[in-house]
Amino acid sequence: PAIYEGMKITLSHLVSNVADSNAVDTMEYPEEQPSDITERYRGLHRLTHREDESIACVACFMCATACPSGCIFIEATEREDGKDEKMPKRFAIDTLECVFCGYCVEACPRDAIRMDTGIFSLIGNKREDFVMEKDQLLAHKGAFGEEKSLARK
């Protein structure tokens, strides 16, 4: 019967893999991280800085409006440097709610939010560990080359 033919193929693969374990493409995750993440990969979010190191976000709420899962929370305040723009007093992203669609990045008129950190695995013990606040989002760096501030003035 056909089952013997299938078992023959399975056993031949098993024997060949045991005999030559270097030929098996197994990654020891999480000790070994993938190295083939492309620039188009949408990883964890980050907030960008302007050239004067101030936050590029002007709290326009366009990213929060565009977000289909409603995971972006912004609380606006006036800027301390006297400019006619606002800035976020609180900017948080609930990564457990996020679907990583990238709509927030496309909606931002100041290029203040990006998803180019290359971070794809999040670890935490409590739900609060997965809510990324403004300080955490500002601390992340871009993973793909030089950091270029594309924030429009």
Residue ranges and CATH numbers for the domains of the chain are 31-139 (3.30.70.3270)
Per-residue confidence (pLDDT) for residue 114, from 0 to 100: 94
CA distances from 11 to 7, 8, 17 (A): 6, 5, 10
- Token pair recorded at residue 66: 């565009």
Instruction: Identify whether the C-beta of residue 137 lies closer than 8 Å to the C-beta of residue 116.
Output: no
- Reading phi first (left if > 0) and then psi (alpha if -120 to 50, else beta), residue 145 is in left
The partner residues of 90 in beta bridges, in order of sequence, read 75
Answer yes or no: is pLDDT of 146 > 80: no
For the segment 98-123, the average pLDDT, to the nearest whole number, is 92
Main-chain dihedrals φ then ψ at residue 6, nearest 5 degrees: -65, -45
Residue with tokens 């601390």: 139
Locate all alpha helices (DSSP H) within the chain, ordered by sequence: 2-19, 62-66, 103-107, 134-139
H or E element, residue 76? strand 72-78
Average pLDDT over residues 131-146: 85
Mean pLDDT confidence for 15-20: 83
